[in-house]
């Protein structure tokens, strides 16, 4: 887990530490296949800085992680003292559950417990949704994709419906595996999700979608 502090110029209040934003996710948050400077955390960090918002990132993206893995390591991620607790979090898990054949109910139970843990600690969360490929069948896709809006409503957190919106299925924006975004794809993702992240950090959470 790596914390990166972005220091801004005079606009940043010298007497107040920047908010700590936790990125809990899988390879999409870890920047699989990309140089660190082109991965999602670094590009989100840069975009926040350019928009005038100071932030300390806690990078907790692990390639290959499932919702079960994220839940299992959550106590370690949140194991520091009060001064090390995140002020807000992005949760992006579930894609590997699909690849490993988890039944949607299992994924939902794991994500439910993750969100409950953040709720108990009064840490605001932006839940980042995923989609299942159509080749898994209409019933599976419907069951899986219903998880995210249902949990957002249950826990009263905002939802970004699909992390790869505008990127999935576009060869020009993906690495050769067709799953992970390339540098250009990351830029598209950051541009789309940035308003939601800024709203989360500013405490201006919109009602769950």
Catalytic (active-site) positions: 27, 177, 180
As a three-state string, the secondary structure of 6-21 is CCCCCCCCCCCCCCEE
Cβ neighbours, 10 Å, residue 61: 23
Contacts of 105 (CB under 8 A, 6+ apart): 143
Radius of gyration of the chain (CA): 16
Between CA 183 and CA 171 the distance in angstroms is 12
Instruction: Count Cβ neighbours within 10 Å for each residue of 19-50 and write b for 16 or more, e otherwise.
Output: bbbbbbbbbbbbbbbbeeebbbbbbbbebbbe
Residues 30/180, Cβ–Cβ less than 8 Å:
no
Q: Is 162 exposed, middle or buried (0-12, 13-18, 19+ CB in 10 A)?
A: middle
């Amino acid at each position: 887990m790596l914390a990166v502090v972005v220091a801004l110029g005079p606009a940043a209040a010298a007497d107040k530490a920047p908010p700590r934003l936790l990125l809990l996710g899988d390879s999409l948050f870890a920047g699989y296949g990309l140089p660190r400077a082109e991965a999602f955390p670094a590009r989100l960090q840069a975009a926040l800085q350019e928009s005038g918002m100071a932030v300390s990132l806690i990078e907790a993206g692990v390639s290959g992680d499932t919702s079960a893995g994220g839940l299992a390591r959550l106590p370690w991620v949140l194991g520091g003292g009060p001064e090390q607790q995140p002020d807000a979090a992005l949760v992006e898990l579930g894609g590997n559950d699909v690849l490993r054949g988890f039944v949607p109910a299992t994924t939902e139970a794991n994500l439910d417990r993750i969100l409950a843990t953040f709720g108990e600690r009064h840490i605001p969360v932006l839940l980042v949704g995923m989609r299942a490929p159509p080749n898994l069948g209409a019933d599976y896709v419907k069951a899986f994709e219903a998880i995210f809006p249902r949990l957002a409503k249950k826990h009263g957190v905002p939802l970004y419906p699909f992390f790869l919106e505008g990127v999935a299925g576009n060869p020009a924006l993906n690495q050769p595996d067709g799953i992970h975004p390339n540098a250009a794809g990351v830029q598209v993702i950051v541009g789309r999700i940035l308003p939601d992240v800024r709203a989360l950090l500013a405490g201006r959470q919109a009602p769950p979608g």
